[in-house]
Structure 1
Amino acid sequence: MTSETSYPRESARTQRYTLGLPRDVVVSPDGRRILFLRSRSGTDPVTCLWVVDAATGTETLVADPAALLAGDDHDLPAAERARRERAREAAGGITGFATDAPAGLAAFALAGRLFVADLTAGTTRELAVAGPVFDPRPDPTGRRIGYVSDHRFRIADLAGSWHEPAGTAGWHEPAGTADDTPEVGWGGAEFIAAEEMGRFRGFWWSPDGERLAVTRVDDSDVQRWHIADPARPEQAPITRPYPAAGTPNAAVTLHIVGVADGRTEVVWDRPAFEYLTDVAWSAAGLICTVQSRDQRQLQVLDVDPTTGATRPRWTDTDDDWVELVPGVPRLRPDGALVTCADRDGARRLLLDGTPVTPADLQVRAVTTVDGPGIVFTANRLDDATDIQVWRYHDGDLTALTTAPGVHRAAAAGGTVVIGTATLAEPGTRWATRDGVELTSHAAAPTRRATPTLHFFGKRRLATAVLLPANHDGSPLPVLLDPYGGPHGPRVLRSHNAHLASQWFADQGFAVLVIDGRGTPGRGTAWERAVHHDLATAVLDDQVDGLHAAADELGVLDLSRVAIRGWSFGGYLAALAVLRRPDVFHAAVAGAPVTEWRLYDTHYTERYLGDPAAQPEVYDAGSLLPLAPDLRRPLLLIHGLADDNVVAAHTLQLSSALLAAGRPHEVLPLVGVSHMTPQEVVAENLLLHQLDFLRRSLGPERVGAV
């Protein structure tokens, strides 16, 4: 197989077969139009904005970045580059958009410039405003656009007739929303909100478009870290505020800002509830969600937009932590509060505090609160590999999907668009329940994944097993390929989720992907098994799953076992060869957390607590003290531009290994962040790992296909 047609090259060029897929699907409130982003082919990284008529399936290209920019490809604003990194966004072009209330007007930014689209006419124009423009959002009435520029929040007024081919807009900064210090910004999401809470925005319009709720983020007390590019010593390091575990967070406040004038601060007990996790403003009212620093308490607050006063609407507490669930809290039009919380061992949908889903169903996310109907995704508690779409409506709970697979949805106005991925077919198919399909231009993988899913051992560990094509039944060296940690399921009934693992299998390995305790979907106790210990249960389940698979399959050579992983999976891979060299004979650790004191507050303290109060918990989870125990080959890989898991993690472990006289390998990736979107890097990274595994387990014993 030549490099031009190899899986590594193909996967890199297609960004793991995601290019050309419909994404960011939105349904207009009247249910008549479906909005989405998609590039023109499976190798085209530039996404365009499209609209489909939900009744006829007629598709209209609304905005094409190639035409709109006319070759004027300026660098992205720093805020947009940061947003894409936090969202793990590797594509280009239009990577996000927002609409007015009826979804007739959309706004988006390209190269720091502001564009608006008429979604009914299918036309787009640029508004000449002061930039660079970041996160533009129309007000619900479609008269104005709010956006962020550097650290400032601005409002643009739409000017001229809507169908004019070119337009200008007057813009202004609302009174009281400008600070001269660069440590203070208005209208944006701080690092922790975007990286860990899923809150990527910092302003919300009132329903009448006359006021906004706007964040003020003060990073003054947050420690500064410096991300240097060693390959370019002439360039100064990039300085970033990074709140590591146990250190100060950004001070985030919320303000009600009038379009014309006036500013009022929203008041809550900030010392007790340090985190602002969510804001929602609808005709039913303004609510915000706040969370304590130890994450054991969460409150949904009713906000008086005139005075800024708040009162608790709903409170949730947990001895370990309160989980944040995408899509909630929200208010129904009748004012009822839709939330999710762990009750009776499962994450359940709550309506005004009362569970409305059964205790054997684990809610994963809420898609839509549309009138009395609530659309959400969930899985049965005993099987997190199979995710279905459900609707709750006036006391009735209905499964909108039932076929095995991983399903998601967009819904409004009676139209439900389902995204379906299955083990049998590559990619994701988006279609309405009436049969209107969103065309996909994604490349079809030349390699087919053929995993078998098992539930091994007394804990029924979900495990995907992948063997070489046409395997003859002879013993195989084993490669474990997990993520293994919170919020990172890997064993899913989705074909494309297993393509990289299949490629390694076809090089002569039996590949196992095991989701153990701490991974999502299996209920409260399962997820909280990692509280104050991110190592023991996680590693034990990999070992137990391996041995159970060996007993059942009969083809695993337990004298040749390797493990690879990225991010938390990198931590797990390094942990495996350091703690259990009797089981694991080689490891590839990509972007690993090696010392939890170097990772951020919201994630780390949720699981391990305060490092000042519980230093022994952090010591027990650190890889650095284990450096003298290394007896097996270990490859450490890290992007030097990573501002999430900074390269210091790998460098400190490497230094400790060197001091202990333990040979190992380090692969630094110049200019690479926590993602690896660069085509050449992504391709050769897989090939390098394969070479390391063959060398480590014995080249004469690991075949190639």
Structure 2
Amino acid sequence: MSEHGRHPQTSGHGIAAEGRARRRSVAPSASGEDKVTERTADASVAVPRFPRQFARTRRFSLGLPRHFTVSPDGRRVLFIRGTSGADPVSRLWLHENGDERLLADPLTLSNTTDSIPDEERVRRERAREASSGVVSYATDNDALIAVFALNGELWTVRTDRGEPRRIPTAGPVVDPRPSPDGSRIAYVTGGALHVVGIDGTDDRALAAPESAEVTYGLSDHASAESMGRLHGYWWSPDGVALLVARVDNSPVQRWYICDPADPTKKPTAVAYPQAGTANAKVSLHLVHTAGRAPVEVRLPTVAPEETHPEGEWTDTSFEYIPVAGWDGLGPFAQVQTRDQRTVQLLAIDANTGATESLDIRHDPAWVELVPGAPRRLPSGAVLRTFICDDGLTGLSLDGVRTPRGLNVREVTAVSDERIHFLANEEPTEVHVWRYDPADGFTRVSEGPGVYAVAVGGDTVVLDSRTQSGRSVTVSDHGVERGRIAVLTEEPVVTPQPIHHSLGKRELRSQLYLPSWYEQGSGRLPVLLNPYSGVGMQLVVRAREWWTCVSQWFAEQGFAVLVTDGRGTPGRGREWEKAIRGDRLTPALRDQIDALHAAAEQYPDLDLTAVAIRGWSYGGYLAAGAVLRHPEVFHAAVAGGTPTDRRLYDTHWEERFLGHPEVFPQAYRRSSLVPDAHLLSRPLLLVHGVADDNVHVAHTLRLSAALVAAGRPHTVLPLSGATHLVTGTDQASGLLLLEASFLRNSLNL
């Protein structure tokens, strides 16, 4: 989706002002799903105020409680949150007996600011962390001790008494986590894995890097960015050993990130595994706190060829470790082949490092990685995923399967008696489900929305995202016993999406109309505001930051259409894998079909004035739209755009397009640079120059090709910005600049 930046105060919102006294009364034709009648929003107030609020609240993320940990007895719930919807400093809190208590306030603990280690900056970027202060923490098994890093310092606090204590360390701290019994704390500094006593004694390195290219206890780029594995070590339940990832980046090519606005600052080297190039060498090691010699885990090197799916490009080497850990039965790991068509779950012998296969999955396109599954239960049974005959993802345990029509997204908590997981029946909603042998499958969450859950004992923390906002409830045996306060600011713009399933593919879409608009009173220019890429949905039954942005653009005088097309989650294997070999054509087709279907139901939509905007994949879609379909799209804003698919990382890009040397036509078909000569519409390209996910080279290469072809366009570099633009001036100003650019481009 998009980030936002800087613009002068001439945003131009005359259309909104003209209609401020009108009431909105919009009814689609008989084929529409929703009939909406809403009160007037005072657009003259909301339109200018929203961009600054949006930026100041970091996309309404400040004040949100997150990262919940529930103690095994269910009595204590730890979480992170600021003190208000405008407070960028996260603090550590405890919810107990229905009350909240502050455990750690960074503003009282450290006099230094913004002095975090480079490895921690990278970890936060991979996690898309927008706040400062205590942004992550870890606890012992009983959630009595919590540890966290603050400006490179190691801190610990008991949840039952006392004040936070700083523990001296050998160097700046990254990713500290206590042993399950709370007696020691492991952390990474300078690429070495250290352990220190909870009292601050006996700090020593358990695994030290052999060269500057090697780290112990950290994740590699592909695992963190494309697989979601942010950790690089895992404690044994008895606290005497750890499973540790060793990462050797020496085979990986180097990219360089610099800020041209500061010529005195040296470029930063980044080990970036571009599609078709070498990955980091990742191995696992068993390391003991008592000084025993480390043992390398004997991971399989290749998948069995007799069961591996055939293909024009086949690479059976197990290069990826998407998951690793240590449960009550021992260490385990999941490995994946370079071509991503075989994934294997392995049990690891804690003494010898030998492995045994617990589960193996294949797919002729790619095996989808489902967070939390497959996994072992304490009984030793394996909870497996499978593809149902309707193409949805199901769960299987000892012959018991999830009901037909239920699409599993994530397994969140497992015990011998109970399993909690996230799943959808309707793609625009994600609900919490529970399975236990006595009651079978039960849906926990109620009402339209997107839900998440944390569990400990019989306590359930339900994080609810609905169209009215966010709430967090704490329940015991199904009875609510408290709430965790959500302190986000109320948006000055209230989203009023009209939900649709458009066209023959029943494309899930939302239409946003100006609050002051009356049907039949005039034509409305159309703005498509999609992401529509892998791993993220915008069309959900919940109020999110992007729904607020869409409504704000509607108040500018646009009819805003948001559509989730093929490739997005929630609709099964065929839907998600329809983009294999071509990341652009099916996605663009879905946007066009949704646009035309919406115009049939709403004749006031002006198809002679259609714009499109987006960030990241959404920016890729926007730029592709004006390049390949100028007969439909008349202007575009494309931010953080991956214009050359060969420049993205191995795990992500090869999943969809294969190896670039084997499938050069797929990369050519899915890239925008070769189409630069086709541009005939206004195009604004925006990019953060410090982006280490989608390098600014993407935008610069497209711009160079456009210049060579004599095609006018506009480029806006954002100094110091990464893929997540958080600067208040940049984030607020860019939103205004986009609106101005689109209105001018459409002659509004």
Shared fold, TM over 0.5? yes
Q: 1:353 to 1:540 in 2, by over 3 A?
A: farther
Match of residue 512 from structure 2: 466
2:470 to 404, 407, 427: 427
Matched, 1:303 2:348: yes
Match of residue 32 from structure 1: 75
- Separation in 1 of the partners of 2:285 and 2:388? 33
* 8 A contact 1:197–1:277 mirrored in 2: yes
* 1:225-624 superposed matches below 5 A: 225-261=255-291, 262-271=293-302, 272-352=317-397, 354=399, 356-380=401-425, 383-394=426-437, 396-423=440-467, 425-432=468-475, 433-435=478-480, 436-473=482-519, 474-496=522-544, 497-624=546-673
330-339 or 477-486, which deviates more: 330-339
Specify the SS of the correspondent of 1:539: helix
* 8 A contact 1:129–1:169 mirrored in 2: no
Residues 670-695 of structure 1 deviation map (CA, whole Å, 9 limit, x = unaligned): 00000011111100010010010011
Residues 546-592 of structure 1 deviation map (CA, whole Å, 9 limit, x = unaligned): 00000012221000000001000010000101111110000100011
* 1:20-99 superposed matches below 5 A: 20-53=63-96, 56-69=97-110, 71-99=111-139
Specify the SS of the correspondent of 2:54: helix
Can you give the 5+ residue segments of structure 1 that lack an aligned partner in the other structure?
Answer: 160-167, 700-705
* 8 A contact 1:3–1:9 mirrored in 2: no
Q: 1:294 to 1:499 in 2, by over 3 A?
A: same
* 8 A contact 1:635–1:667 mirrored in 2: yes
Specify the SS of the correspondent of 1:540: helix
What's the CA shift for 1:126? 1.0
Specify the SS of the correspondent of 2:470: coil
368-377 or 673-682, which deviates more: 368-377
Residues 533-558 of structure 1 deviation map (CA, whole Å, 9 limit, x = unaligned): 11111010000000000001222100
* 8 A contact 1:138–1:144 mirrored in 2: yes
- Separation in 2 of the partners of 1:299 and 1:264? 21
Aligned amino acid, residue 264 of structure 1: V
* 8 A contact 1:133–1:149 mirrored in 2: yes
What's the CA shift for 1:200? 0.2
* 8 A contact 2:46–2:493 mirrored in 1: no
Q: What TM-score results when the alignment is normalised by the length of structure 1?
A: 0.95
Specify the SS of the correspondent of 1:557: strand
Specify the SS of the correspondent of 2:322: strand
What's the CA shift for 1:253? 0.2
What's the CA shift for 1:74? 4.8
- Separation in 1 of the partners of 2:742 and 2:400? 49
- Separation in 1 of the partners of 2:374 and 2:571? 22
What's the CA shift for 1:4? 11
Match of residue 9 from structure 1: 52
Can you give the 5+ residue segments of structure 2 that lack an aligned partner in the other structure?
Answer: 1-43, 303-316
* 8 A contact 1:339–1:353 mirrored in 2: no
Specify the SS of the correspondent of 1:169: coil
- Separation in 2 of the partners of 1:310 and 1:353? 23
Q: What TM-score results when the alignment is normalised by the length of structure 2?
A: 0.90
- Separation in 1 of the partners of 2:640 and 2:398? 40
What's the CA shift for 1:374? 0.9
Relative contact order higher in (CA < 8 Å, ≥ 6 apart)? 2
What's the CA shift for 1:346? 3.8
What's the CA shift for 1:622? 1.1
Q: 1:50 to 1:279 in 2, by over 3 A?
A: same
245-254 or 319-328, which deviates more: 319-328
Matched, 1:212 2:212: no
- Separation in 1 of the partners of 2:109 and 2:504? 58
Residues 641-685 of structure 1 deviation map (CA, whole Å, 9 limit, x = unaligned): 000000000000000000000000000000000001111110001
Residues 18-46 of structure 1 deviation map (CA, whole Å, 9 limit, x = unaligned): 11111111211111111111100110011
- Separation in 1 of the partners of 2:141 and 2:374? 19
- Separation in 1 of the partners of 2:87 and 2:370? 33
- Separation in 1 of the partners of 2:177 and 2:500? 45
Q: 1:140 to 1:351 in 2, by over 3 A?
A: farther
Q: What fraction of aligned residue pairs are identical, expressed as a percent?
A: 47
Match of residue 202 from structure 2: 170
Q: 1:481 to 1:613 in 2, by over 3 A?
A: same
Specify the SS of the correspondent of 1:529: coil
Q: 1:224 to 1:449 in 2, by over 3 A?
A: same
Aligned amino acid, residue 215 of structure 1: A
Specify the SS of the correspondent of 1:671: coil
Aligned amino acid, residue 58 of structure 2: Q
Q: 1:520 to 1:74 in 2, by over 3 A?
A: closer
Residues 494-553 of structure 1 deviation map (CA, whole Å, 9 limit, x = unaligned): 112400000000000000000011000011110010111111110100000000000012
Q: 1:344 to 1:354 in 2, by over 3 A?
A: farther
Residues 270-295 of structure 1 deviation map (CA, whole Å, 9 limit, x = unaligned): 35211011112111222100000000
* 8 A contact 2:566–2:578 mirrored in 1: yes
* 8 A contact 2:172–2:189 mirrored in 1: yes
Aligned amino acid, residue 112 of structure 1: G
* 8 A contact 1:370–1:413 mirrored in 2: no
1:192 to 195, 214, 222: 222
- Separation in 2 of the partners of 1:459 and 1:349? 23
Q: 1:346 to 1:99 in 2, by over 3 A?
A: farther
* 8 A contact 1:477–1:561 mirrored in 2: yes
- Separation in 1 of the partners of 2:183 and 2:48? 50
76-85 or 265-274, which deviates more: 265-274
- Separation in 1 of the partners of 2:408 and 2:346? 23
128-137 or 262-271, which deviates more: 262-271
* 8 A contact 2:513–2:555 mirrored in 1: yes
Residues 384-406 of structure 1 deviation map (CA, whole Å, 9 limit, x = unaligned): 11111100112700000121111
Aligned amino acid, residue 572 of structure 1: L
What's the CA shift for 1:618? 0.6
Aligned amino acid, residue 269 of structure 1: P
* 8 A contact 1:345–1:523 mirrored in 2: yes
- Separation in 1 of the partners of 2:397 and 2:447? 31
* 8 A contact 2:47–2:556 mirrored in 1: no
Specify the SS of the correspondent of 1:652: helix
* 8 A contact 1:338–1:349 mirrored in 2: no
- Separation in 1 of the partners of 2:161 and 2:444? 32
- Separation in 1 of the partners of 2:384 and 2:102? 36
* 8 A contact 1:14–1:443 mirrored in 2: yes
What's the CA shift for 1:327? 2.2
638-647 or 401-410, which deviates more: 401-410
